[in-house]
Structure 1
């Protein structure tokens, strides 16, 4: 269902500490974001597609889109201001993770420890890619949350599928348009055509994930709205991304 029986409330009218499960959703968002960057970003996997043959892909594509889906749930259930707070938490956690990885990799290894090369391969950070990833995440997530929140008001809370898919099309579009040129344009082995091809391929895959998981999004959103007992609309919300207070 698109619109439940929960009372519609403007986000700015809700007091702090009103929600029971917000902290858990926030934790899930940050956990998926960090783990997909650590465990998935550096590995290129390959599957064999019928009629196509071997098809390489970045392993992170399997789980990173979950952060966008959780972001949709956050905005739909808790409103833009609380989603904004979570985006900043994820951004700060990612920045600290990158800093910690740089420090730990740079520390001189003990003579008896022979895994430095492997450690650098797994956890080594390329500054250009780190910058591109963080810039793309920040902009893409805020665009995603803004579009979803505005569409909810425009549609009166109807057609959740259109809001989640539409916001992902735009948000992931911004993410991909920033990340791939910033990270790889002019880099060795990356022709302009390859950058554009990978950009649109990854964007399509991420949107495809959103479409496939729409029934899951409906189930989670419906359960959380019933549990929280309210349906939040961003009427009169300050949509600036440059604050963290809900």
Structure 2
């Protein structure tokens, strides 16, 4: 018999681990290659241009699906806010560290240049990344929760993919428009947005069997399968 989701968060065995994994992946995607535009030659599509963060970031949506499906929107909302605060703190620390005067010597000066190249994102990139994550993640969680209730818990694959399509559309559009509109040529901007959206959403499709296994494992171990029938979906409400 599954729980109705009324237990305190501290009574769940794996919730904290899922939150930690989510935040770790989010920070990796934001700090490693968020502004890098890469290319790959694919068998059918040919040369595809995409943001390097696509290697990490879509996994956070998989975790978002898992959290909403097992623990409910309210508990996923807390994880989204944890990720949001982690991104803000990481951005602040990057700014402070880069602003510090490096010690004298060519080695330190060279190291400072490399740090600025890797972590010296412009305010537009930082703002776009954080806002896009926040809006996209809440869109994903909201759609996932509503679809679960509407479908009475059936067709999990349709819910994970459908919610990701909505969330990734919001995320990819917001980030690249905010961060790079007027900097990149419009053709490149549109190309990267489309490629990013297709690749991110494709990750969800490819990972569906793994998502099923993780969700089924957590439902069984946590004795939880939450339905957001009476949930307050206000994104600014932190109480689960």
Q: Which TM-score applies when normalising by structure 2?
A: 0.93
> What displacement does 1:164 show?
0.3
Aligned residue in 2 for 1:117: 113
What are the superposed Cα offsets for residues 25-56 of structure 1, whole Å, 9 maximum, x if unpaired?
Answer: 00000000001212232444443333665544
Q: 2: distance between equivalents of 1:8 and 1:147?
A: 22
Which residue, 193, 204, 227 being the options, matches 1:199? 193
> What displacement does 1:125 show?
1.9
What are the superposed Cα offsets for residues 51-81 of structure 1, whole Å, 9 maximum, x if unpaired?
Answer: 6655443221111100110111111111100
Q: 1: distance between equivalents of 2:112 and 2:10?
A: 45
Q: 2: distance between equivalents of 1:106 and 1:16?
A: 39
Alignment of 1:39-78 (within 5 A): 39-50=32-43, 54-78=47-71
Aligned residue in 1 for 2:180: 184
Q: CA RMSD in A?
A: 1.6
Contact 1:42–1:122 (Cα < 8 Å) also in 2: no
Q: 1: distance between equivalents of 2:3 and 2:154?
A: 12
Structure 2 spans left out of the alignment, 5+ residues: none
Aligned residue in 2 for 1:3: none
Which residue, 60, 81, 84 being the options, matches 1:88? 81
> What displacement does 1:24 show?
0.2
Q: Secondary structure at the match of 1:40?
A: coil
**2:205 paired with 1:211:** yes
Alignment of 1:151-166 (within 5 A): 151-166=147-162
Q: Which TM-score applies when normalising by structure 1?
A: 0.91
> What displacement does 1:199 show?
1.2
